[in-house]
Amino acid sequence: MTQDNVTRLHKDPVPDMIGPKPIGNSVIVEGHRIPNMTMIDRGDIVEFVIDNRMGFEFPRECAYTAACFAATAMAVGAGHPHFKYPHKSNQAYASQCVGIEITDDGIKPA
């Protein structure tokens, strides 16, 4: 392989090497980002997409409960007691995160 081929690869990627485009926003429940779940806010309806393959729609007033249920079910399926359970694992589930807000006064926790 020549340097020319490597340079060209970055300019014209092979279609089979391009991964899926993310669908929706990350889902954060009680300060934990839920792996493999995204959310599309459609106003009165909130759609959760699991693993970029399956979408489930919920009325807005049920969305939080549905997200908690799904997050807990996925964590239990992955061998954890709960998505928020503190553990020392090299395969952490629903890692804790902190939201930030950027304002004219600077950066602060959201």
pLDDT in tens, 47-62: 999 988 889 999 999 9
Cα–Cα nearest to 58, from 77, 85, 37 = 37
- Report which of residues 87 and 105 the model is more confident about: 105
**Could you tell me the residue range of the domain that residue 45 belongs to?**
24-109
Confidence of residue 44 (pLDDT cuts 50, 70, 90): very high
Q: What total number of domains does the chain contain?
A: 1
Cα–Cα nearest to 34, from 44, 49, 56 = 49
The phi and psi torsions of 97 (rounded to 5 degrees) equal: -140, 165
Asked if residue 19 is part of any domain, the answer here is no
Asked if residue 2 is part of any domain, the answer here is no
Asked if residue 3 is part of any domain, the answer here is no
Question: Tens digits of per-residue pLDDT, 64-92?
Answer: 999 999 999 988 888 877 787 766 555 56
Asked if residue 10 is part of any domain, the answer here is no
Asked if residue 11 is part of any domain, the answer here is no
Question: Tens digits of per-residue pLDDT, 2-27?
Answer: 444 444 444 555 556 555 666 788 89
CB atoms within 10 A of CB 5: 8
